[in-house]
Amino acid sequence: MPRHARIDIPGLLQHVIVRGIEKCPIFLDDQDRANFLSRLRVLLSETETDCYAWALLDNHFHLLLQPKQRTLAEIMRRLLTGYAVVFNLRHHRTGHLFQNRYKSIVCDKDPYFLELVRYIHLNPVRAGIVGDLETLAAYPWCGHCELLGRASMPMIQVDEVLPLFARQRKAARQKYESFIADGFHDHSMTKLSSGGRRSSRALDPSIAEDAMFDDRILGGGHFVEQVLNTSSIVQNNHRMPLTELVQRVATSLQIAPATLSAPSKERNIVRAKAIISHIAVRKLGIKGLDVAATLGYSSTAVTQAAKRGEALLAAERDLGKMLGDITKL
């Protein structure tokens, strides 16, 4: 049976699992782990990607990510390629380090978010790397210690996770720790390394048995339908060239396309560039560097323009009507 394409749309919560080829180790020592985390931190910042949980094992790792600007594929390509090159040089090896396809599961955030955080942070226990909660709290290669305030170089969006337990930081950490302990003692916890009907309904029995499910998605019913519809729109429009997008926006806003490639402070041109940046990067998955070259921007300016474009379209309904189906890409 052919494998389905990954669902890769910025804004979706994704549980990512990467394994070494033929189950071989991908971290041989702490220097490898530190190098990997250093690369990941830089990428999270550069791509405006939020991380909520992570765990490094010997031959695989788990990440809970929510890309905001870039596709997950771009982020993972940069992370895995860069790490593999250094790993091979350092350990005098050649060839592939990772399995050809990393696994990514789109997750419905509301019902599954905290369960995913717990599942990922208990992975070192399930793998036999640590034996108890006290050791897990001090284990430096898992995001659990970050949420307990014991990490020197944090990556997790702590201010988005801990308030789900309590308003005060101290109380939130205590409740989070109790939440982890409950999972530690519950040997029947649902395995969350896959999507589909079984995993989705195990944690959210309110989903009807005959609802729509997908093995690439943790969730069911309306959420699956919404994700698949959005994915279909993105895939159908992904091949639209950037030049065509520029032409269509310029025509709709009655601007000469040539004026969009040069620096300008004219209001209509700035607005047009913001809209193009938003649609190109966040909806069509076009690289920010390509957008920057087309619009005469820096990559940082494209990121800022994309934010303005999103705000413009949300605030000005007449603008959306003027642009028509372009905003639905």
Distance of CA 67 to the CA centre of its chain: 3
Per-residue pLDDT at 236:
54
Where exactly are the structural domains of the chain? 13-230, 238-328
> Is the pLDDT assigned to residue 235 strictly greater than 60?
no
Percent of the chain with pLDDT over 90: 47
User: Alpha-carbon Rg of the chain, whole angstroms?
Assistant: 22
> Is the pLDDT assigned to residue 193 strictly greater than 80?
yes
Q: What is the pLDDT of residues 6-53, one digit of tens each?
A: 888 889 999 999 999 988 999 999 999 999 999 999 999 999 999 999
For the chain, give the mean pLDDT.
88
Question: Is 3.30.70.1290 the CATH number for 13-230?
Answer: yes
CA distance 210 to 200: 12
Question: Is 1.10.1750.10 the CATH number for 238-328?
Answer: yes
> Is the pLDDT assigned to residue 155 strictly greater than 70?
yes
Tell me the sheet residues that pair with 60.
19
> Is the pLDDT assigned to residue 2 strictly greater than 50?
no
Report in angstroms the alpha-carbon separations of 147 from 17, 154, 177: 21, 9, 9
Neighbour count for residue 289 (Cβ, 10 Å): 12
> Is the pLDDT assigned to residue 215 strictly greater than 70?
yes
Q: Going edge to edge, which strands form the sheet with 103-107?
A: 49-56, 60-67, 13-19, 103-107, 217-218
Report in angstroms the alpha-carbon separations of 325 from 140, 282, 328, 329: 49, 16, 5, 7
Per-residue pLDDT at 4:
66
DSSP 216: T
Q: What is the pLDDT of residues 117-138, one digit of tens each?
A: 999 999 999 999 998 999 999 9
> Is the pLDDT assigned to residue 237 strictly greater than 60?
no
Q: How confident is the model at residue 1 (pLDDT cuts 50, 70, 90)?
A: very low
